[in-house]
């Protein structure tokens, strides 16, 4: 659990990054209409949540900084019995003052009036310059007289690169639930079922374990469907003898997990499937061993490309000398994506990959990233030996960078051929 003291510590750190004589503001998410008077489920803006832990809409955080003082202000919705009857209880101004470690709390309906007061004699304004939120657009109109405008989003996103101990525990909790879901998918009888039925089993496990939403739309891709990287139709039958690529992770207490396993429909891998699977697995294991502070993701990517390309040459999928093939980018036909991405409050955490000078950011203790090599061979690719056609494999784990190396946070999820076959329902 993240305490209010930790949220305050984050806000204090953000204020230190602001120029003197400035005002900064960041807004909550807004409800989005599905149709008429129904709305999509509300999820708080990730940056706003990171700074506050506040889950309601129509809220704002404002920071004022001069040479002599700083002040933090929270705006919240007023209590309204009629609206609360329909949409749920609101914290309100009085309770917010008790709960949140900010200097002042006001009602959201007073934001424009108060914000104009805060802007007096200020030279700098920090806000979400590219936001589509209506409140952020209103700030742009209110700050026409201020010459220097800054985007607050990159400042917060950079802070999100390094996870605290409390954040790491929440990610671990999310992964523990996702582990149950993947193991459930391995264990059930899949004969005669469809991809969406397996998806339902996975997401059922999320919800019964208090992960009320998935971190992203689950991919349950059988056979050649796995060769569409962002396949989410999930409407095809589970065919005996094929593999199922399952890329699924839950969101628990606002923190994501992101796991991929590729499992056999009937509980057993064919020899060709094992050959490809073990090539991807051994590549992933080698890359994970390399992770430690000061290593760069680009280096991990290059090593993954080398290992996968060499393996594909040995299997007859690619022909030629592997160094030349890599130089010619031939491997990208079968391994077109990166080795991984940052993960945290968002499954693809939007923390930066380069610094202000466009230099790649090296790994540091406390960063969390995915490692997910893959191979994707279309069923119609006649340049490849027939036994490998129509197979798509990705293996993905969530990795924490530690002081001297790394920790695989999702090590508990079955991954080797032997582990998966031992868990799987066989028919």
Active-site residue list: 37, 230, 247, 258, 337, 341, 348, 372, 376, 394, 396
CB 334 within 8 A of CB 312: yes
- Residues of 359-394 as b/e, b for ≥16 C-beta within 10 angstroms? eebbbeebbbbbbbbbbbbbeebeebeeebbbbbbb
Q: Give the residue from 113, 133, 141, 179 showing the smallest Cα distance to 29.
A: 133
Gap between the Cα atoms of 92 and 100, Å rounded: 12
Alpha carbon distance 99, 96 (integer Å): 5
- Contact (Cβ atoms closer than 8 angstroms) between residue 58 and residue 88: no
Q: How far apart are CA 1 and CA 370, in angstroms?
A: 23
Pairing state of beta strands 124-127 and 148-151?
Answer: parallel
Quick one: CA torsion of 6, 10, 12, 16, rounded to 10 degrees? Answer: 150
Q: Measured between alpha carbons, how far is residue 403 from residues 173, 257, 294, 366 in Å? A: 22, 22, 11, 8
DSSP state of 227: G
């Amino acid at each position: 659990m993240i305490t209010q003291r930790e949220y305050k510590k984050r806000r204090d750190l953000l204020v230190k990054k602001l120029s003197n004589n400035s005002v900064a503001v960041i807004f909550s998410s807004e409800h989005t209409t599905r149709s008429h008077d129904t709305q999509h489920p509300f999820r708080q803006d990730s940056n706003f949540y990171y700074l506050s832990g506040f889950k309601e809409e129509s809220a704002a955080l404002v920071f004022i900084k001069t040479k002599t003082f700083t002040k933090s202000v929270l705006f919240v919705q007023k209590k309204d019995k009629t609206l609360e009857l329909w949409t749920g209880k609101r914290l309100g101004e009085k309770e917010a003052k008790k709960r949140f470690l900010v200097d002042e709390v006001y009602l959201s309906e007073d934001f424009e009036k108060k914000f104009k007061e805060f802007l007096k004699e200020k030279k700098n304004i920090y806000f979400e310059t590219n936001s589509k939120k209506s409140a952020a657009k209103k700030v742009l109109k209110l700050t026409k007289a201020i010459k220097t405008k800054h985007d607050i989003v990159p400042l917060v996103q950079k802070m999100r690169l390094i996870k605290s101990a409390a954040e790491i525990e929440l990610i671990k909790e999310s992964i523990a639930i996702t582990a149950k879901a993947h193991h459930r998918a391995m264990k059930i009888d899949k004969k005669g079922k469809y991809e969406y039925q397996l998806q339902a089993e996975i997401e059922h496990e999320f919800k019964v374990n208090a992960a009320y939403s998935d971190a992203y739309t689950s991919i349950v891709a059988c056979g050649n469907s796995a060769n569409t990287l962002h396949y989410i139709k999930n409407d095809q039958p589970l065919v005996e003898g094929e593999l199922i690529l399952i890329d699924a992770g839950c969101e628990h207490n606002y923190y994501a997990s992101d796991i991929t396993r590729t499992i056999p429909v009937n509980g057993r891998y064919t020899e060709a499937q094992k050959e490809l699977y073990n090539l991807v697995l051994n590549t992933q294991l080698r890359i994970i061993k390399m992770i430690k502070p000061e290593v760069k993701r680009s280096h991990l990517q290059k090593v993954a490309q080398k290992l996968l390309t060499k393996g594909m040459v040995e299997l007859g999928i690619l022909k030629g000398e592997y160094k030349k093939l890599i130089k010619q980018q031939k491997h990208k036909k079968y391994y077109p994506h990166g080795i991984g991405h940052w993960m945290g409050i968002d499954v693809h955490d939007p923390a930066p990959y380069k610094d202000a000078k466009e230099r790649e950011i090296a790994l540091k203790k406390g960063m969390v990233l995915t490692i997910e090599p893959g191979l994707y061979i279309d069923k119609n690719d006649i340049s490849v030996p027939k036994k490998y056609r129509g197979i798509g494999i990705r293996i993905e784990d969530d990795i924490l960078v530690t002081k001297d190396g790394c920790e695989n946070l999702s090590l508990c999820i079955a991954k080797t051929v032997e582990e998966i076959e031992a868990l799987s329902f066989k028919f």
